[in-house]
Amino acid sequence: MSDMPYDEHYFDLLVIGLGASGASAAIAAREAGFLGRIAILEKEKQPLRKVLASGNGRCNLVNTQPIEGHYHGTDPSFASAVIAEMTAKQLLSWFFTLGLHTMEDREGRVYPRSFQASSVALILQEQLERHDVKIFYPMEVVSIEKESYLFQIKTKEESFTASAVIVATGSAAAPDLGGSLSGLDLLQSMGHTLRLPMPSLVPLNLNPHPLMKYASGIRFRGKATFVGHGGETAKTKGEFLITSYGLSGIAAMELGRIVGRIQESPAGHIYLDFVPEMTEDEMLVLLKGDKNLDRDIRVALTGLVPEKIAKGILRSLHIEEPSKKDDNFFKKMASLLKALPLEVQNTRGFPFAQVASGGVLTDEFDASTLMSKKVSELFSSGEVLDIDGDTGGYNLLWAFSSGYRAGKSAAEYLMGQKRL
């Protein structure tokens, strides 16, 4: 038991934020043998909202592929060091012990066997209840200070004191699901440095183009190259979704990470490759084949791309069906199928972002414990730190793994201090 006299507003360990990271932190503290009082403060009326919405409601828990190259930030190696203590396979074993059955697809993405994010949320909530973790919600923290060896935490409704604090509030992405800058503000008030948060994994706004008018709603698999007006470059491949405003889909959203950090608008150009398995010369030979000379070019193109995409490309040339299909026409079509230029204005912003880049600088935290190097007994985990991952389960892996590390470390630290 704690040496502190009983006070219903005092907790040995207080977690700010009940998402994937905050939940795993509190559970990990108990699993480390921590017997003191633990509480979580959550500002939303419904905890775990982002978990419930993740993976289109299916919850892509983790990805079992090697993590190298899949994390971003000022120091991506920080993520690797943390996750090494709770890898994807270890995390899945942990979930199995909690009663969650999972399935893995061919690309290493792992989902609950039910394909329901609610299965994950229910198991986490059951564990928090079983481990006697007190949950206060909706209760938004507005300030945090440290006086002597205790933290003073104020919410809009009440005040609390705690021996150790874990900030696991997430990012500003998806404000409709609770995303905000509140955790970053708290850590900044405690002396931490921020890298400007920006939307990441977010759709792109494009300047109007016939493709958006005639092919809106069409998905295709291809490649894309982004070239910013400041010289920034990025490449991606996979599924794209053409929309009335621009581009969405996993592959396009990956480009949001670099586009989001460009302050100018328009930000640059994206070049779409609709048939990445063929070279431009191979495309030209195919298009110039005798069988296509007297055919509707849209029919000829349908074997390569959806009809509506073909129509959008033709309309960009201000033609419907060319009366003269000469070498110049076929060269132009082959060029556009391999690198259709579209001007990128900006991203769709935080309201449409899955995650955010930026956050508290990781070099101000110990990777082995996730405790602050500036404020003793202050820990952070998840997206509030300057780490963001690619799509496919890497962000939830980071949230769960870092939360578990922070919770276990906080428990071990407090028990080592012989306060419990």
Residue 138: asked if its preceding bond is cis (omega within 30°), the reply is: yes
Q: Do residues 178 and 285 both lie within one domain?
A: no
Backbone angles phi, psi at 385, to 5 degrees: -85, 160
What does the pLDDT profile of the chain (420 residues) look like in tens digits? 455 556 789 999 999 999 999 999 999 999 999 999 999 999 999 999 999 999 889 999 999 999 999 999 999 999 999 999 999 999 999 999 999 999 999 999 999 999 999 999 999 999 999 999 999 999 999 999 999 889 999 999 899 999 999 999 999 999 999 999 999 999 999 999 999 999 999 999 999 999 999 999 999 999 999 999 989 999 999 999 999 999 999 999 999 999 999 988 899 999 999 999 999 999 888 887 755 556 667 667 777 899 999 999 989 887 666 555 677 888 898 999 999 999 999 999 999 999 999 999 999 999 999 999 999 999 999 999 999 999 999 999 999 999 999 999 999 999 997 444
Q: Do residues 14 and 156 both lie within one domain?
A: yes
pLDDT of residue 100: 96
What are the residues facing 237 on neighbouring strands? 223
Say which residues have a Cβ less than 8 Å from residue 266's Cβ, sequence separation at least 6.
207, 229, 343, 344, 345, 346
CA dist 342 and 215 (Å) reads 14
Q: Which of 320, 347, 374 is where one domain is finished?
A: 347
What are the residues facing 219 on neighbouring strands? 241
Is residue 173 a part of any domain in this protein?
Answer: yes
pLDDT of residue 329: 82
Is residue 46 a part of any domain in this protein?
Answer: yes
pLDDT of residue 3: 58
Q: Do residues 327 and 405 both lie within one domain?
A: no
3-class SS at 180? coil
pLDDT of residue 1: 43
Q: Do residues 276 and 401 both lie within one domain?
A: no
Q: Which of 347, 372, 394 is where one domain is finished?
A: 347
The DSSP code sequence of 43-86 is -SSSTTHHHHHGGGGT---EE-S--TTSEESS-THHHHHHHTTS
Q: Which domain holds residue 51?
A: 10-198+355-416
Is residue 189 a part of any domain in this protein?
Answer: yes
Q: Do residues 255 and 377 both lie within one domain?
A: no
CA dist 133 and 159 (Å) reads 18
Is residue 139 a part of any domain in this protein?
Answer: yes
Residues found in the chain: 420
Q: Do residues 256 and 163 both lie within one domain?
A: no
Is residue 2 a part of any domain in this protein?
Answer: no
pLDDT of residue 319: 67
Q: Do residues 364 and 235 both lie within one domain?
A: no
Q: What is the token pair recorded at 228?
A: 């910013």
Cβ density class 364-378: b for 16+ within 10 Å, e for less: bbebebbbbeebebb
Is residue 124 a part of any domain in this protein?
Answer: yes
Is residue 333 a part of any domain in this protein?
Answer: yes
E-strand ranges in 250-390 read 268-273, 340-347, 355-360, 378-380, 388-389
Q: Do residues 29 and 144 both lie within one domain?
A: yes
Counted domains in the chain: 2
Q: Do residues 241 and 286 both lie within one domain?
A: yes
CA dist 132 and 205 (Å) reads 47
Is residue 5 a part of any domain in this protein?
Answer: no
Q: Do residues 32 and 176 both lie within one domain?
A: yes
The amino acid present at 294, given as its one-letter code, is D
Q: Do residues 189 and 208 both lie within one domain?
A: no
Q: Which of 314, 347, 380 is where one domain is finished?
A: 347
Q: Do residues 334 and 364 both lie within one domain?
A: no
CA dist 344 and 107 (Å) reads 29
pTM of the shown model: 0.92
